[in-house]
Amino acid sequence: MAAEAGTPTPADVYRARARIAGRVARTPLLSSPRLARACGADTVSLKLEMLQLSGAFKLRGATNALLALAPEVCARGVVTASTGNHGRALAYAARAEGVACTVCLSGLVPENKAAAVRELGAEVVRTGDDQDAAVAEALRLAAEHGFSYIPPFDHAEVIAGQGTIGLELLEDAPDLDTVIVPLSGGGLLAGVALIVKAINPAVHIVGVSPERGAAMIESLRAGYPVEVAEEGTLADSLGGGIGLDNRHTFALVRGLVDEVVQVSEGEIAAAMRGLYRHERLVTEGAAAVGAALLARGGVPGGGGRVAALITGNNVDMDAFTRLVREND
């Protein structure tokens, strides 16, 4: 396994932007007057990370971490464990650089996400019933074959890559008051909070998790990383623990994030329907948690100008079609 840098800094986010330039999309903001009315904000802007070529924001961190490896290390191949989107992103980045890639997925990962990884030329290893089992297998393969393990969130270069979203946000909407970010292992939230707080400490940063299996939120309540049983959820990309040996994301989220909130399965489903019917967006459940929070009414941090990250669209379309045809 390759050596990793220490906890990321804002300078690492700027370096990540230079490293991944031309390999990831600069995604647009879409105004949502509907959600602004629902929550009482002056404006709501949706950051459309589902427009990345891999279908989710994860391409930023995966590409940055891969490109940060020394060429001789990269040549031995990379491996990861994923709830789907990070694996797809790493497979995409690895194929672009001609690097062998293996992705370990638990039985909870939907088959459409496993198939998408295979289509990009990566080897998929199905193992266990939760993300912890997938991580254990990925680490075993790294040790056995000399692969570099690139985890989905608790990695300095992954965090820095995700932080480039925050740079784009404040360049395109410099007067933001609140930024709402989906929360699982915390790589996205840590990266965005790291750079946004460095540029404007007054911005209110909110992390949103589903009610089921919110490992980071339970860890924050306990004051240290804890294990939480992984449960099935519409927001399947937000599943999995944060790791009892968490090195980066727990401390960054605890130190930089102003508020964490949970939304129900019903709220997530309604948000997916709303984003499709009104903003014409196809989203997976994890991407809709910010919209679910805003649709509830009220704005964390008190209102004003709000941005919510719409993080991915890697959803089984048959299941999505059934969901959006349902009545709220």
Q: Specify the pLDDT at position 301.
A: 79
**9-36 confidence digits (pLDDT tens):** 999 999 999 999 999 999 999 999 999 9
**Mean of pLDDT over the chain:** 93
pTM for this structure?
0.93
Domain boundaries for CATH 3.40.50.1100 within the chain: 10-57+155-325, 58-149
* pLDDT at position 274 over 70: yes
Q: Is the dihedral of CA 231, 206, 258, 15 positive or negative?
A: positive
* Pairing outcome for strands 43-48 and 29-31: antiparallel
Q: Are 179 and 203 in contact (CB under 8 A)?
A: yes
Find, among 307, 310, 170, 193, the residue nearest to 248 by Cα: 193
Q: Specify the pLDDT at position 2.
A: 43
Choose the CATH number for 10-57+155-325 among 3.40.50.1100, 3.30.70.1350, 3.40.50.720, 3.30.420.10.
Answer: 3.40.50.1100
Does domain 58-149 fall under CATH 3.40.190.80? My reply is: no
